[in-house]
Structures are given as structure tokens and as C-alpha cells.
């Protein structure tokens, strides 16, 4: 049976030699190498659930009066888009399960991407020959953020409408061209034309997913062509990769991980409410709700917008830089700029243009680890600042006080944590050297003792 | 012991909620800020009275006039525990009641007797429509109280969550506008609309949780926490099981 | 007839071919695995539990008597997947052989092949005598075609910003509420917040909604170009925050002014705070511009009317936000 199948494939495609090689492809098996796989599987769940949702979503801002089964919005004006998502959440059997799983998958996808990015950064896996893989990865992260943002913006509920106008304002704040670009994309000033929701929709279900899928493929092919990197070991060298083969070793494990990811996401989707748009109600430009927040992966941007003191840079009547630019546009540009250019900056700083198949441990490179920890602290503080209104509500800590605290903290704390991290790295390495010398001395001592005993 | 005596006394005297009794309570807890006979006190230097209330940590200060505020305002501030306020300048918050129910009744009667104020409203939320209430709440209240009435923030003030608010308290607050809350006239929100609004607020405490466990219905912050501390954590654990660790 | 013969021949060849197949190797491809019957049993059991959970899915879906569909559906499919995952992982750890392999990394570079490829491309251009000009032509054609391909995208929307300055407010236009009922000055009380729209206009338009509040006339400090914009203490501001465009639906209105925060209009997105008595100036938060103010008047019937357009552009700031005032 198996032989028949293999023969069928080989005779039709002639790929048996290739399969023979591919099945024995070696995976170094450190657990942290699986984080990217988690992201990949979450993406698969996103595509599968997303396709299902497209069969019900109506991409229209046409004003309709709701007469469905959900009493609290009975008779209210809303867009067709919002009504269709309301229907998915209320009347379509299993619709809500799929919708919530889709949303949880997005949240977990980006969490996995970030963890994967941390792993790659702090081990120096982005060095030659894998710098291209890194650049593609960073680009995918940016696309994923946009993809997620347009995804929840097109639903047109109260929260998403507020998120959309904030994104619009950030776009508007781009010097010289902001208003032109946003007016062009939205078809006029906010709330834009009737074409806006169809545009968001096609971007969400076609444009960005295809871009991500193509880059994902290139990303994976590049990984396979250059093989996985690995940590240094007794047998692991720059020339030899040690690990378990794709088949049979890795396959059941990866499938297990795939089903674990899918299972966790469906459990979350079924048991834990996420973005209950039926509770938020429809959006109108003239209403808003307190405590509106973006999903977690955009929390750093709302933090940036809230932390920045209010001023527009003006020259006479010309507004050179409107306020939202700093926190909403410049901040992410700096972060992504750092991600794009760091491999080359590091190469210059360290004068290191060699091939690296072996990874560093974070402690092996105090400069990189220090800079990385500083950056992470910086972004994390701004991120936390974004939820200070909720902290005020829950713990009664003054919002204005918190904002001023963070305004100072984001400038000071990253520098401190960066230096502390670098210092810890050096101490760890020094500790290891001491331990190594102690052992060597011990062994030498033992040998000497033995030889003396021999002589005696 | 003294409290017990007071309670026994109150039980023994069913007709205790008189303006006269109220005036006594007023003299003890309220007069230092609201002035004699509820005339109010806007001058921080002219502090009136201030005797026994200091035992429970109430400082004398300034306070608005209570003339013509009526039973409605007295009922609201006392039953929510907004008053007595510890000291001037604080935002009144829902708190444990300092006064007994008998004392509150007496005080309400007394404050009502200070002028020609409105009575305690009698809303009928069961006659309202949920959808109308949702729309009114979204248009008028959600900006401060959050669309699911979970409370929010306004620069230098904290609009409270409405989970514990009774129908009467909501009806009172809408008309009074306690602390920095705007007030709404019957032209803005009619009494029947108010019934709908209250019905909606009550519904927000037990809404349609068709999606499973609700995360306090305050949006993405708790969702992010679940993403990381449940979703991502569980999957990292699976990775740890599948993948070997370094230096094994 | 000949077809049958062909078929027979083909069958024979196949048969012979099969006979010629190499005998199954006695040498094992994979290292031996110690038999672990208990782990195997566990994996099999997990698979059947997974099947059971998954089988519950259609039951929950079709039986209408089951409440809380989302939860039970999620539970069944989620658990089914998790049990399947567990079965595979148990099998992978204990039953399926897992060997450690060593492979050589691919060589860093293949200089000979690089040389060949580069040489090939170089030589392909040997026939050209004016290579530079040809390249220029290529770039011109490519560039021009690229630009031409992008041109249709211009139709997406207006590239100019004229629309950003316009609003539906005109001199004499009445202020109406959400139900199109005109606002009467006498109905506007202090410590109350009203949302109004230009009569007959699209309410969703960004320049439409205004907030209307009444303040003690003595407390107003309207100066500069908003001087006299109030109508007997009633002031109106654009409802869109000048920072990020959210609706300003928060009105901080003190009941007892001496010891409570001053009146303020606040945006719930980033808590930009504006002073309604001072022409909407910013007192806290990230907004970089005060709120645009709408001049008001009261007509003979006591109804509120606009006396013109806003004094400044509405909505979030952009490069030209201060260059022109909204057309009156």
C-alpha cells in the first residue's frame, strides 16, 4: 500500500530522490525553534476561519435598520457590515465560534511572532547568511499588524470605528502629504466614502494575506536552503548541523504542535469571549466610549499617542508636524527602522562579516543583549502606559500622575535595564570562565596526584 | 454599645423619620460643610460647627446649599454613601453607609423640608425598551461610563461603574448630575426614555454572554492578558515538551 | 486485437518489473525502539477520546435543545484537537523512532557556479555595440510602464484637500438634535451637554456634529477670532477631537464649582482636555490645537442658529489645518 503510493508519486513526478533527501532534513531541536512554527500554525487557523467568515461578511457601509433576533439593538441604524457581523455572532450556528477563534488566533499569532522575533534577535540568528530571512520576517510582522488592524476596523462597531479614526488621524499627521494620502485612500475626509469598507475588506482578505503568504513561503524556503541555525555543542559546529530528521522524528511532533495550537485556539474561541461587538453597538462618528483600546499588539501605539505631550510643530500657518505623528507614526518607524537596520549596525560595530551557523546565547553578546533589552523595555513601558486609564479605574492610581511617570520612565528606565542586562551577561560569562578554570585546575591536580602516586 | 442603643431606640420609635430627628443628624454630620439650615458654605475660612463628626474622620469644609435640592438629591447622596464626605475636594464615591437607614430617612425628610425640591423619582425600568436604552446610553453616557457601564476616566475624575446602582439611583443621578456629571433635563431624556436607559444599565450587569466567559466586558486589555498568560503560555509549554532544552 | 496484446505485454512488463524490485533490505533504516506497550496504549486511547470529542461536534450543532452552542462547540472541537495533539506527541516521544542525525551545512558559497552565472549573463550582451543606450532604453520603458501601471490608482480618491476644509455649517443654519428637532436656547441648561447637527446635513460627516453647552457668561473668556461666538453664554464646538478625531462625548461639569474640577470637554481616546469657557483651549493631553468653535445666535423664535462656519478646521491636524478657515 505504502509502496504503491510512493511509486505512484515517483513515477508521476520523479521526486523520490528529492523526498529521500527532504525526509531526512535535520531539525535542531531546541524548544525555542518551535515558536516560529506556532506562529505558522496560528496563521493557518487564521486563513481557515477567515475563509469561513468571508461567506457571511457584507462589505458595505449602507445604512440599514436592524430587525434581527438581538433585542438590545432592535430598530437601530447601523451599517450593513456591522449587521452582518452581528448576524455571524447571533444567528449563524457556529458562526460565533469561528469568529472568536479567528480573533484569538490573530492575538496568539502576533504573540508567537513576537516571541519568535525575541528568540531570533537575542541569539543573533539574523546574522549572515540569514539576514534576508530576518528582513522578510520583519516585513511580515509589519504586514501582520496592518492586516489585523484593517480586520477589526472593517466590522464598524463602536470600538473599531474609534480605532479607525485614530489610524486615520495618524495617517493625516504625516508631514507634507498626510491629508492627501488619507483623503485618497478613504475617498475624502473621515468617515470617507462608501468604498472605504470594501477597500478595508479586500485589503484584509486578499491583499495582505497574499503578501504575507508569499513572504512566508520565501521565509521558509530561505530557512530550508541555508538550513537551521543551532546552538554550539560538542558535535554542533559551524559545519555540521545536529538534530532529528523531518521524518519520522519531527513530523509527529510538528503535527502535534499544529493540533495543540488549533486546539488551544478553538478552546479559547468557544469558551472565552473576545471582541463582543454585539455589546459595543454600531459606530457613528459622533459617539464614543470610555476605555476604548486597540488589541494588544497595537497597545504600544495608543501608549505613544497618550504619552506625547500635545503640540503641533508649525511654521507660520503651515503645520509641519501634527502631534499624532510622534507617537503614532515616528515611534513605530523608529522601532521598525531599528529592526531592519540592526543586523547591519551590529556588523559594522563588531566588524563581523563572517558566516554564522552557530547561535550566540544571549550572554555571549552583552552589547546585543543590552541594546535588545533596552528596546524591549522602551516599547513595553509605552505599551503599559497605554492602559493607564484602566489602571486608574481598577486601582485608583491617578491617570495624570501615571502619564507623567511614564513620560520620564520611558527615557530613563530603558537605559538602565540595557546596562544592567549587559552587566549581567558579562557576569554570567565570567562566572562560567571561573567555573571552567576551577574544573581544569581540579583535573590537573588529580592528574598530578595520580602521577605522583605512580612515581611513589 | 452605643450603636446598639441607637438601633434599639430606632426600632422602638417607628415614627422616627421626622424632620426634627433629621435636623439632629444634620447637625452632627452635615452642618460643617452645608451650613446651618442647609444654606451652604462657599468660604473656606468660615468653617461652621464641626463637633462629633470628627470622631468618624469627617473634616469641616465648604459645601453647596441644600435649599430646594429636595428629597431626590438627599436620597441619592445618602443611599449611595456619597455623603457624608470625608473632606472637601474629594470625589464622592460609593462607600459603606455611615448612617443607619433610620438616620437616612430622617435626613431626607429634613433636607426635603428645606425648600421646594423634587421628590424621590419612581422609575419603572420594566416598561422601557432595551434598544432605546442602548442608543441613549451610547449617545449620552458611554463616553464617561463606558458602553457596558464598567466605569471610566475623565481628566481628574472617575465616572463610576454602574454595577451597584439601583434604578432609583440612576434616575436621580441623571437628573441631578452628581459631582462633575452633566445633568439631563426631561426635554433631553424624557421620563419614559429614562426607564429605557435604566433598563439598559441593569441589563449590562447580566448581558448576553453568548461568547463564553466574559472578560469584564471592557475590551482588549484583559483579552491581551489572556492571549499571553493563557494562549501563548500554553503553547510555549507544548514547545518545551516537544523540543529538547540546551545542555540536556 | 493488437490492443489486447499491448495490454498483456504491459502487464508482463509490470510483473517482471515487480519481480526485479530489490528485495526488502534486511538492514534497518531506523534505529530500534524499545517496545513501550503502555505508551502505545495511551496514544491509541487518546486517539479514540479525540474521535469521541469530535463526534460530539455535530451532535451539539444539530440538537437544538443544547444551550450555549458556542461553548460546547468550542469545547468539543478544541478538546478533540488537543487529544489528537497529545496522542501524536506521546507516539513521537515513545513509539516512533527518533534518531539524532548529523548533516553538513551547505557550503557558504559556490564560487565556480557564481562565476559561471555571472559570466553567462555578461556574455549574453556581447552583441551590443551601444550597451549604455540600450540599458537606458530598457530603464525608460520599464519606468514609464511602471508609472503608467500605477496611474489608474489615482482614481481611488481626491488627491487635493479641498474637502477637508468644508463643513455643512452655513450662516443661519439651525442646530438640530439627533432626531432633527431644533435646539432652543431656553432648553440649553448649564451643566448639561448637547450634541447638535446642521439642519438637513449628513450627521456622520466629520464637520457636522457639535457639542453645545451653556456656561455662566461671566466665566467666558472668548477672545481673538472667537470673541463673541457665544449666544448668551451658550457655546458650540466641533465634536471631533483635534488630536485623533474621536467624538468628544465627555463633559466634566462641576456641580459645586468651588471645590470641584473646572468645566472641561474631554476625548475618551487619549484624554485630551479642552476648556469650553476659553474657546476650547487645550488644558491636558496630546491635542495640539484648540477645538474649532461655531459662532451662535438665537433667532426670533428662540432657536439656535449658526452665525457662520467654524473658526478653524475640524478634525485631526494635517499640514494645512491652519492655512485656511472653513469656507463660511
Reduce the secondary structure of chain B to three states and give it as a string. CHHHHHHHHHHHCHHHCCHHHHHHHHHHHCHHHHCHHHCCECCCCCCCCCCHHHHHCCCCCCECCCCCCHHHHHHHHHHCCCCCCCCCCCCCCCCCCCCCHHHHHHHHHHHHCCCCCCCCCCCCHHHCCHHHHHHHHHHHCHHHHCCCCCCCCECCECCCCCCCCCHHHHHHHHHHCCCCCCCCCCCCCCHHHHHHHHHHHHHHHCCCCCCCECCCCCCHHHHHHHHHHHHHHHHHHHHHHHCECCCC
Across A165-175, average pLDDT: 96
Measured in angstroms, the CA of B48 and the nearest CA of chain A are apart by 31
A260 with C85: Cβ contact below 8 A: yes
pLDDT of residue A335: 98
A291 with B153: Cβ contact below 8 A: yes
Contacts of C273 in chain B (CB under 8 A): 155
Contacts of C189 in chain B (CB under 8 A): 183, 185
C195 with B139: Cβ contact below 8 A: yes
Residue B7, pLDDT > 60, answer no
Residue C324, pLDDT > 90, answer no
Condensed to tens digits (0 to 9), the pLDDT of residues C278-309 reads: 999 999 999 999 999 999 999 999 999 999 99
Other CB atoms closer than 10 Å to residue C58's CB: what's the count? 11
Contacts of C253 in chain B (CB under 8 A): 177, 180-183
Q: What is the mean pLDDT of chain C?
A: 91
Residue of A nearest to C108 (CA): A355
Measured in angstroms, the CA of C184 and the nearest CA of chain A are apart by 21
Task: Let me know: does C290 contact C229? Beta carbons within 8 Å.
Answer: no
Interface test with C, best of A323, A328, A354, A393 (most C CBs within 10 A): A323
- Grade residue B19 by pLDDT with cuts at 50, 70 and 90: confident
Interface test with A, best of C61, C318, C324 (most A CBs within 10 A): C318
- Grade residue C258 by pLDDT with cuts at 50, 70 and 90: confident
Condensed to tens digits (0 to 9), the pLDDT of residues A301-320 reads: 999 999 999 889 999 999 99
A184 with C84: Cβ contact below 8 A: no
Q: Is the ipTM of this complex over 0.90?
A: yes
Condensed to tens digits (0 to 9), the pLDDT of residues A42-85 reads: 999 999 999 999 999 999 999 999 999 999 999 999 999 999 99
Query: Number of Cβ pairs closer than 8 Å across A and C?
Result: 294
Q: What is the mean pLDDT of chain A?
A: 95
- Separation CA C81–CA A262 (nearest Å): 7
Measured in angstroms, the CA of C58 and the nearest CA of chain B are apart by 19
- Separation CA C95–CA C30 (nearest Å): 12
pLDDT of residue A349: 93
Q: Which of residues 24-63 of C touch A (CB under 8 A)?
A: 30, 61
Residue of A nearest to B236 (CA): A35
Q: Which of residues 116-175 of C touch B (CB under 8 A)?
A: none
C282 touches chain A (CB under 8 A): yes
A389 with C271: Cβ contact below 8 A: yes
Contacts of B129 in chain A (CB under 8 A): 74
Q: Residue C68, Cα to own-chain centre: how many angstroms?
A: 30
Residue C247, pLDDT > 90, answer yes
Closest to C192 (Cβ–Cβ): which among B156, B188, B212?
B188
- Grade residue B43 by pLDDT with cuts at 50, 70 and 90: confident
Chains that touch A (3 or more CB pairs under 8 A): B, C
Q: Which of A81, A129, A126 is nearest to A226 (CA)?
A: A129
- Grade residue B44 by pLDDT with cuts at 50, 70 and 90: confident
Residue C103, pLDDT > 80, answer yes
Cell of C25: 533490505
B211 touches chain C (CB under 8 A): yes
Residue of C nearest to A241 (CA): C103
B181 with C258: Cβ contact below 8 A: no
SS3 C191: coil
- Grade residue B2 by pLDDT with cuts at 50, 70 and 90: low
Residue C13, pLDDT > 70, answer no
Contacts of A253 in chain C (CB under 8 A): 88-89, 92
| Long-range pairs of B74-77 with CB within 8 A, sequence gap ≥ 24 | B74/B107, B74/B108, B74/B111, B74/B112, B75/B108, B75/B120, B75/B168, B75/B172, B76/B169, B76/B172, B76/B173, B76/B176, B76/B178, B77/B178
Report the sign of the C-alpha dihedral through residues A300, A305, A307, A308, in that order: positive
- Separation CA A389–CA C253 (nearest Å): 20
Q: Which of B130, B126, B137 is nearest to B167 (CA)?
A: B126
C98 with A262: Cβ contact below 8 A: no
Q: Which of A232, A250, A249 is nearest to A241 (CA)?
A: A232
A291 with B232: Cβ contact below 8 A: no
Condensed to tens digits (0 to 9), the pLDDT of residues A320-331 reads: 999 999 999 999
Q: How many CA atoms lie within 13 A of B61 on its CB side?
A: 16
A290 with B239: Cβ contact below 8 A: no
Closest to C260 (Cβ–Cβ): which among B142, B179, B241?
B179
- 0.90 exceeded by the pTM? yes
B153 with A158: Cβ contact below 8 A: no
- Separation CA A412–CA B176 (nearest Å): 46
Across C201-229, average pLDDT: 95
Across C150-169, average pLDDT: 94
B164 touches chain A (CB under 8 A): no
Condensed to tens digits (0 to 9), the pLDDT of residues A267-286 reads: 999 999 999 999 999 999 99
Q: Which of A257, A253, A254, A248 is nearest to A23 (CA)?
A: A248
C261 touches chain A (CB under 8 A): no
**Element (H or E) spanning C102, and its range?**
strand C101-104
Interface test with B, best of A28, A31, A394 (most B CBs within 10 A): A31
Residue C53, pLDDT > 60, answer yes
C189 touches chain B (CB under 8 A): yes
B138 touches chain C (CB under 8 A): no
Across C214-237, average pLDDT: 95
Closest to A324 (Cβ–Cβ): which among C108, C197, C316?
C316
Contacts of A37 in chain C (CB under 8 A): none
Residue B246, pLDDT > 50, answer no
Measured in angstroms, the CA of B167 and the nearest CA of chain C are apart by 21
C1 touches chain B (CB under 8 A): no
Cell of A453: 602516586
Condensed to tens digits (0 to 9), the pLDDT of residues B180-222 reads: 999 999 999 999 999 999 999 999 999 988 889 999 899 999 9
Residue of C nearest to A269 (CA): C74
Q: Which of C316, C310, C291 is nearest to A322 (CA)?
A: C316
Concatenated DSSP letters for C146-159? Answer: HHHHHGGGGGGS-S
Query: Number of Cβ pairs closer than 8 Å across B and C?
Result: 90
Residue C1, pLDDT > 50, answer no
- Grade residue B14 by pLDDT with cuts at 50, 70 and 90: very low
Amino acid at each position: 500500500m505504502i509502496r504503491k503510493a510512493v511509486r505512484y508519486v515517483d513515477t508521476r513526478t520523479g521526486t523520490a530522490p528529492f523526498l529521500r533527501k527532504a525526509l531526512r532534513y535535520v531539525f535542531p531541536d531546541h524548544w525555542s525553534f518551535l515558536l516560529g512554527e506556532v506562529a505558522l500554525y496560528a496563521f493557518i487557523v487564521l486563513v481557515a476561519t477567515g475563509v469561513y467568515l468571508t461567506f457571511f461578511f457584507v462589505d458595505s457601509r449602507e445604512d440599514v435598520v436592524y430587525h434581527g433576533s438581538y433585542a438590545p439593538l432592535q430598530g437601530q441604524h447601523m451599517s450593513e457590515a456591522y449587521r452582518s457581523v452581528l448576524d455571524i455572532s447571533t444567528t449563524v450556528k457556529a458562526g460565533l465560534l469561528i469568529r472568536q477563534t479567528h480573533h484569538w488566533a490573530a492575538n496568539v499569532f502576533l504573540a508567537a511572532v513576537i516571541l519568535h522575533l525575541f528568540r531570533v534577535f537575542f541569539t543573533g540568528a539574523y546574522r549572515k547568511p540569514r539576514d534576508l530571512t530576518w528582513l522578510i520576517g520583519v516585513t511580515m510582522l509589519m504586514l501582520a499588524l496592518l492586516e489585523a488592524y484593517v480586520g477589526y476596523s472593517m466590522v464598524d462597531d463602536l470600538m473599531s470605528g474609534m480605532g479607525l479614526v485614530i489610524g486615520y488621524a495618524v495617517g493625516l499627521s504625516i508631514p507634507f502629504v498626510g491629508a492627501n494620502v488619507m483623503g485618497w485612500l478613504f475617498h475624502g475626509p473621515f468617515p470617507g466614502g462608501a468604498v472605504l469598507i470594501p477597500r478595508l475588506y479586500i485589503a484584509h482578505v486578499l491583499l495582505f494575506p497574499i503578501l504575507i503568504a508569499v513572504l512566508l513561503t520565501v521565509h521558509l524556503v530561505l530557512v530550508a536552503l541555508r538550513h537551521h541555525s543551532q546552538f554550539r555543542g560538542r558535535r554542533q559546529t559551524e559545519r555540521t548541523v545536529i538534530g532529528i530528521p523531518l521524518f519520522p522524528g519531527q513530523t509527529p511532533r510538528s503535527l502535534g504542535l499544529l493540533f495543540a495550537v488549533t486546539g488551544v485556539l478553538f478552546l479559547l474561541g468557544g469558551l472565552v469571549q473576545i471582541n463582543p461587538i454585539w455589546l459595543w453597538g454600531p459606530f457613528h462618528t459622533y459617539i464614543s466610549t470610555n476605555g476604548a483600546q486597540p488589541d494588544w499588539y497595537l497597545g504600544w501605539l495608543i501608549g505613544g499617542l497618550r504619552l506625547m505631550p500635545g503640540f503641533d510643530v508649525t511654521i507660520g500657518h503651515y503645520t509641519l508636524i501634527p502631534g499624532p505623528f510622534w507617537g503614532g507614526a515616528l515611534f513605530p518607524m523608529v522601532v521598525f527602522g531599528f529592526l531592519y537596520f540592526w543586523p547591519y549596525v551590529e556588523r559594522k560595530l563588531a566588524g563581523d562579516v563572517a558566516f554564522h551557523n552557530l547561535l550566540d546565547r544571549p550572554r555571549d553578546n552583552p552589547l546585543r543583549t543590552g541594546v535588545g533589552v533596552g528596546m524591549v523595555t522602551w516599547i513595553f513601558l509605552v505599551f503599559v502606559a497605554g492602559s493607564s486609564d484602566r489602571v486608574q479605574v481598577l486601582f485608583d492610581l491617578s491617570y495624570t500622575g501615571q502619564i507623567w511617570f511614564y513620560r520620564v520612565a520611558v527615557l530613563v528606565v530603558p537605559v538602565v535595564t540595557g546596562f544592567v542586562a549587559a552587566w549581567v551577561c558579562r557576569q554570567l560569562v565570567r562566572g562560567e570562565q571561573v567555573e571552567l578554570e576551577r574544573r581544569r585546575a581540579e583535573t590537573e591536580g588529580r592528574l598530578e596526584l595520580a602521577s605522583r602516586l605512580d612515581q611513589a | 454599645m452605643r450603636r446598639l442603643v441607637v438601633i434599639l431606640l430606632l426600632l422602638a420609635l417607628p415614627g422616627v423619620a421626622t424632620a426634627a430627628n433629621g435636623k439632629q443628624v444634620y447637625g452632627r454630620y452635615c452642618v460643617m460643610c452645608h451650613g446651618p439650615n442647609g444654606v451652604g458654605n462657599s468660604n473656606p475660612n468660615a468653617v461652621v460647627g464641626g463637633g462629633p463628626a470628627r470622631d468618624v474622620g469627617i473634616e469641616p469644609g465648604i459645601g453647596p446649599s441644600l435649599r430646594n435640592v429636595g428629597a431626590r438629591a438627599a436620597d441619592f447622596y445618602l443611599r449611595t454613601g456619597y455623603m457624608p464626605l470625608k473632606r472637601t475636594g474629594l470625589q464622592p464615591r460609593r462607600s459603606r453607609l455611615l448612617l443607619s437607614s433610620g438616620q437616612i430617612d430622617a435626613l431626607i425628610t429634613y433636607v426635603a423640608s428645606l425648600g421646594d425640591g423634587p421628590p424621590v423619582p419612581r422609575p419603572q425600568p420594566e416598561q422601557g425598551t432595551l434598544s432605546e436604552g442602548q442608543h441613549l446610553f451610547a449617545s449620552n453616557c458611554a463616553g464617561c461610563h463606558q458602553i457596558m457601564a464598567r466605569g471610566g476616566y475623565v481628566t481628574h475624575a472617575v465616572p463610576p461603574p454602574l454595577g451597584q446602582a439601583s434604578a432609583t439611583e440612576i434616575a436621580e443621578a441623571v437628573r441631578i448630575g452628581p459631582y462633575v456629571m452633566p445633568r439631563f433635563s426631561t426635554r433631553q431624556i424624557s421620563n419614559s426614555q429614562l426607564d429605557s436607559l435604566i433598563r439598559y444599565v441593569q441589563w449590562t450587569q447580566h448581558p448576553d454572554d453568548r461568547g463564553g466567559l466574559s472578560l469584564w466586558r471592557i475590551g482588549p486589555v484583559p483579552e491581551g492578558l489572556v492571549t499571553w498568560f493563557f494562549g501563548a503560555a500554553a503553547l510555549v509549554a507544548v514547545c518545551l515538551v516537544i523540543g529538547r532544552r540546551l545542555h540536556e | 486485437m493488437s490492443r489486447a496484446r499491448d495490454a498483456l505485454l504491459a502487464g508482463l512488463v509490470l510483473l517482471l518489473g515487480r519481480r526485479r524490485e530489490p528485495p526488502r533490505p534486511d538492514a534497518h533504516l531506523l534505529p530500534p525502539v524499545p517496545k513501550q506497550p503502555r505508551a502505545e496504549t495511551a496514544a491509541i486511547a487518546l486517539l479514540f477520546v479525540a474521535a469521541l470529542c469530535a463526534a460530539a461536534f455535530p451532535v451539539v450543532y444539530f440538537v437544538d435543545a443544547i444551550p450555549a452552542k458556542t461553548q460546547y462547540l468550542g469545547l468539543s472541537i478544541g478538546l478533540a484537537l488537543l487529544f489528537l495533539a497529545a496522542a501524536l506527541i506521546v507516539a513521537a516521544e515513545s513509539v516512533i523512532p527518533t534518531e539524532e542525525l548529523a548533516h553538513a551545512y551547505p557550503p557558504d558559497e559556490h564560487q565556480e557556479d557564481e562565476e559561471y552565472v555571472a559570466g553567462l549573463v555578461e556574455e549574453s550582451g556581447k552583441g551590443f555595440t551601444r550597451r549604455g543606450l540600450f540599458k537606458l532604453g530598457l530603464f525608460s520603458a520599464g519606468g514609464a510602464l511602471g508609472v503608467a501601471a500605477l496611474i489608474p490608482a489615482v482614481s481611488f480618491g481626491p488627491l487635493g484637500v479641498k474637502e477637508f476644509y468644508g463643513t455643512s455649517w452655513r450662516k443661519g443654519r439651525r442646530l438640530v438634535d439627533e432626531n432633527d428637532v431644533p435646539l432652543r436656547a431656553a432648553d440649553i441648561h448649564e451643566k448639561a451637554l448637547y450634541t447638535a447637527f446642521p439642519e438637513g446635513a449628513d450627521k456622520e460627516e466629520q464637520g457636522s456634529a457639535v457639542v453645545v453647552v451653556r456656561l455662566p457668561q461671566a466665566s467666558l473668556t472668548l477672545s481673538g477670532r472667537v470673541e463673541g461666538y457665544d449666544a448668551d453664554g451658550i457655546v458650540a464646538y466641533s465634536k471631533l477631537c483635534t488630536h485623533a478625531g474621536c467624538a468628544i462625548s465627555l463633559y466634566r461639569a462641576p456641580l459645586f464649582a468651588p471645590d470641584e474640577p473646572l468645566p472641561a470637554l474631554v476625548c475618551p481616546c487619549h484624554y485630551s482636555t479642552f476648556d469650553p469657557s476659553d474657546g476650547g483651549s487645550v488644558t491636558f493631553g496630546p491635542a495640539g490645537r484648540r477645538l474649532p468653535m461655531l459662532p451662535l445666535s438665537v433667532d426670533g423664535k428662540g432657536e439656535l442658529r449658526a452665525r457662520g462656519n467654524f473658526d478653524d478646521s475640524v478634525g485631526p491636524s494635517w499640514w494645512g489645518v491652519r492655512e485656511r478657515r472653513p469656507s463660511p
